């Protein structure tokens, strides 16, 4: 059943990518979608713009058929509202409970959705035992928590909110006081490093509220991001909760953009808007802002129906208590369908990416830094070196070569083999069909299908070892055939 759902999604993606490619071949620039080709759900419409549209969901509501109908129809990303928080996953020290977190995960994966992990460390919703710890004991417990939980979900999570709400409100731009902060200012970077080690394929985000416009708090977060980037602390994204009242900061988009310019993806992670006459307009403004920022990868609303919301009485969501679409829903869908943001290319051809294998967590690597034709390509522990950085070069028609930053050569199915197990090497770029790959999306990971052979690039034998060979093999949807793109330059 799961496979059928996934296969169905993949065909849909292939069709949509092909349509985009056709538009490019015809030389047309993408204009606003006409009603005839406008998508009719939030997820499909966002996907057509290269983005996701998600909802926070609660394991306890999955038995509600109206809820799950809307969830599976409209959304292509999920966040556990509470089920992956510290009090839920480690209720007593060293004892981990993943039952409800796994329910959310499986709901998302079986529906072909991205899963955002929320959240590894936060000052709130800590288990009692952690609240009573301090100093080294707390620091060690916190880092162990990050390692254990991120390891449990390794390879399954699109993005983790590694740290939530660590900055103070008001004008200081500094950290919030908390038991975690009192273990030392480096607790956040320690958490990010532990998360990267535990799950190298997940995007690692910092998430906060009241950072939705340019203000002292968001500037403090931005300065942390720049500092992390400068010192090589792994951070890939910043989440903007966007629990909005009856207004939206005028510099909302500009604020997202300044984070994107600092080299991180941005995501709207917990959107809800107090119900008033302008609710629909505010929802549309947030959607338009995300579409206008190329590194804004998606939007998540914090619940499905008003009756599911944590903001009781404010009716801040897109569906009413009965599951009917509100004006705010229509405003978001129209904004998504009208938007030109994102184009049709699934990749940024000006960027350099590390390709992380979903099964092994290791990166595609030019073995031993060789720069000659025929050098073998293997997987290796991710180190972000030039031998692990790849640029997508557009061959047209939805096909791309992958150029090594180290050697300038491209991935090539050796000798134009069409056999299972055919080696993938690097070779001088001649734009041959054995050097071209189409890109297909599965749950936020990609598959690379060779144009000449029709086979998928994979880690041979699902190896998890350094030096495991990269070869082609018939596409069977294996996790060793799936890659997460991590933009590094």
Q: Which residues are annotated as catalytic? A: 165, 270
Quick one: 242 or 438, whose CB is closer to ligand XIL?
Answer: 242
Among 199, 270, 272, 365, binds ligand XIL (CB under 6 A): 270
Q: Is 308 in the site for ligand XIL (CB under 6 A)?
A: no
Count of residues in contact with ligand XIL, rule CB under 6 A: 6
Residues 76-95 that bind ligand XIL (CB under 6 A): 81-82
Q: Is 307 in the site for ligand XIL (CB under 6 A)?
A: no
Quick one: 220 or 342, whose CB is closer to ligand XIL?
Answer: 220
DSSP at 324? P
- Helix, strand or coil for residue 452? coil
Residues 402-461 that bind ligand XIL (CB under 6 A): none
Q: How far is the CB of 161 from ligand XIL (least distance, A)?
A: 7
Alpha-carbon distances, residue 394 vs 11, 31, 153, 398, 403 (angstroms): 22, 21, 34, 8, 11
Among 241, 242, 407, 484, binds ligand XIL (CB under 6 A): 241
Q: How far is the CB of 159 from ligand XIL (least distance, A)?
A: 14
Q: How far is the CB of 214 from ligand XIL (least distance, A)?
A: 21
Length in residues, the chain: 489
Rounded to an integer, what is the distance from CA 268 to the centroid of its chain? 11
Measured over the CA atoms of residue 190, residue 191, residue 197 and residue 201, the dihedral's sign is negative
Residue 170's CB is within 10 A of a number of other CB atoms, namely 11
Quick one: 164 or 484, whose CB is closer to ligand XIL?
Answer: 164
Q: What is the largest CA-CA distance in the chain?
A: 66
Q: How far is the CB of 163 from ligand XIL (least distance, A)?
A: 11
Q: Which residue is nearest to ligand XIL (CB)?
A: 310
Provide the token pair at 74.
Answer: 């409209």
H, E, C per residue of 108-127: HHHCCCEEEEEEEEECCCCC
* Residue labelled with tokens 């000052």: 123
Residue 368's CB is within 10 A of a number of other CB atoms, namely 11
Helix (H) or strand (E) holding 410: strand 410-413
CB-CB contact of 336 with 352 (8 Å): no
Q: Is 164 in the site for ligand XIL (CB under 6 A)?
A: yes
Quick one: 14 or 123, whose CB is closer to ligand XIL?
Answer: 123
Pinpoint the alpha helices (H) of 153-251: 187-198, 216-231
Quick one: 50 or 249, whose CB is closer to ligand XIL?
Answer: 249
Among 98, 129, 310, 414, binds ligand XIL (CB under 6 A): 310
Quick one: 96 or 310, whose CB is closer to ligand XIL?
Answer: 310
Q: Which residues bind ligand XIL (CB under 6 A)?
A: 81-82, 164, 241, 270, 310
């Amino acid at each position: 059943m799961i496979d059928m759902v996934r296969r169905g999604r993949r065909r849909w993606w292939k069709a949509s990518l092909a349509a985009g490619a056709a538009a490019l071949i015809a030389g047309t620039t993408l204009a606003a979608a006409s009603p005839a080709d406008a998508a009719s759900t939030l997820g499909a419409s966002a996907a057509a713009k290269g983005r996701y549209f998600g909802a926070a969901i609660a394991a306890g509501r999955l038995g509600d058929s109206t809820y799950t109908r809307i969830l599976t129809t409209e959304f292509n990303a999920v966040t556990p509202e509470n089920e992956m928080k510290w009090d839920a996953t480690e209720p007593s020290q060293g004892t981990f409970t993943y039952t409800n977190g796994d329910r959310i995960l499986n709901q998302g994966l079986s529906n072909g959705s991205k899963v955002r992990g929320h959240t590894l460390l936060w000052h709130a919703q800590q288990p009692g035992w952690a609240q009573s710890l301090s100093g080294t004991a707390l620091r060690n417990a916190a880092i162990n928590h990050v390692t254990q939980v991120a390891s449990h979900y390794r390879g399954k999570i699109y993005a983790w909110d590694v740290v939530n709400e660590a900055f103070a409100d008001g004008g200081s731009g500094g950290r919030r006081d908390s038991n975690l902060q009192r273990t030392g200012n480096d607790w956040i970077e320690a958490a990010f490093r532990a998360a990267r080690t535990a799950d190298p394929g997940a995007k690692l985000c910092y998430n906060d509220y009241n950072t939705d416009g340019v203000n002292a708090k968001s500037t403090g977060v931005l300065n942390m991001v720049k500092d992390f980037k400068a010192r090589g602390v792994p951070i890939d994204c910043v989440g903007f909760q966007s629990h909005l009242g009856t207004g939206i900061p005028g510099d909302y988009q500009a604020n997202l953009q300044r984070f994107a310019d600092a080299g991180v993806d941005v995501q709207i992670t917990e959107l809800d808007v107090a119900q008033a006459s302008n609710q629909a307009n505010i929802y549309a403004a947030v959607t338009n802002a995300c579409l206008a920022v190329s590194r804004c990868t998606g939007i998540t609303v914090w619940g499905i129906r008003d009756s599911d919301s944590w903001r009781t009485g404010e009716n801040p969501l897109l569906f009413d208590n009965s599951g009917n679409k509100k004006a705010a829903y229509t405003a978001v869908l129209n904004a998504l369908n009208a938007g030109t943001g994102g184009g049709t290319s699934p990749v940024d051809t000006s960027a350099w990416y590390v390709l992380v294998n979903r099964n092994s967590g290791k990166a595609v690597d030019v073995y031993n830094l060789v720069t000659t034709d025929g050098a073998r390509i293997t997987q290796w522990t991710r180190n972000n070196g030039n031998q692990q950085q790849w640029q997508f070069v557009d061959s047209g028609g939805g096909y791309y070569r992958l150029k090594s930053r180290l050697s300038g050569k491209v991935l090539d199915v050796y000798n134009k083999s069409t056999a299972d197990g055919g080696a993938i090497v690097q070779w001088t770029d001649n734009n041959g069909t054995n050097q071209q790959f189409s890109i297909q999306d599965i749950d936020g990971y990609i598959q690379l299908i060779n144009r000449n052979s029709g086979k998928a690039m994979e880690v041979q034998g699902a190896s998890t070892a350094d030096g495991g060979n990269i070869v082609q093999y018939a596409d069977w949807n294996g996790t060793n055939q799936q890659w997460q793109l991590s933009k590094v330059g």
